Amino acid sequence: MFGTLGGPELFLIFVVALIVFGPRKLPEIGKSLGKMMGEFRRASNEFRSTIESEVETEKIRESMRIEPPRVEPVATPRAAEPASEPREAALQTAPSDDPSATDPKS
């Protein structure tokens, strides 16, 4: 299986590192590796939290974008005759202030 290190694998890695780097450098290298692993873990956690935050923000934005239901326009009933005709008829039957219009002599 790849990806899991058991006891024998770790022991083999330690022996090879001891032979290659020597006993004096090994603690310093282990300390550096530990710091790098900690920084990597912090960076990956920060990246994960940023992604999760963006996903939550997008969900909130999506819920705010709910479209209102579409309403079809309703046809309003129209009168058979325009409303301006009765007004014009009233003006024609109304008495005029001009005396010549009512005076048949002229």
Structural domain boundaries of the chain? 8-64
Backbone angles phi, psi at 76, to 5 degrees: -90, 140
Closest listed residue to residue 28, CA positions, set 39, 38, 12, 17: 17
Q: What is the pTM of this model?
A: 0.45
9-28 pLDDT, tens per residue? 988 988 998 899 888 888 89
Consecutive H or E run containing 31: helix 26-64
48-102 pLDDT, tens per residue? 999 999 999 999 888 887 766 777 877 777 766 555 555 555 556 555 555 555 5
Consecutive H or E run containing 90: helix 84-93
Sign of CA dihedral 69, 73, 74, 76: positive
Residue 39 — very low, low, confident or very high, per pLDDT cuts 50/70/90? very high
CA atoms within 13 A on the CB side of 79: 6
Q: What is the pLDDT of residue 51?
A: 97
More confident position, 89 or 29: 29
Q: What is the pLDDT of residue 71?
A: 77
Q: What is the pLDDT of residue 56?
A: 95
Check whether 1 has a pLDDT greater than 60.
no
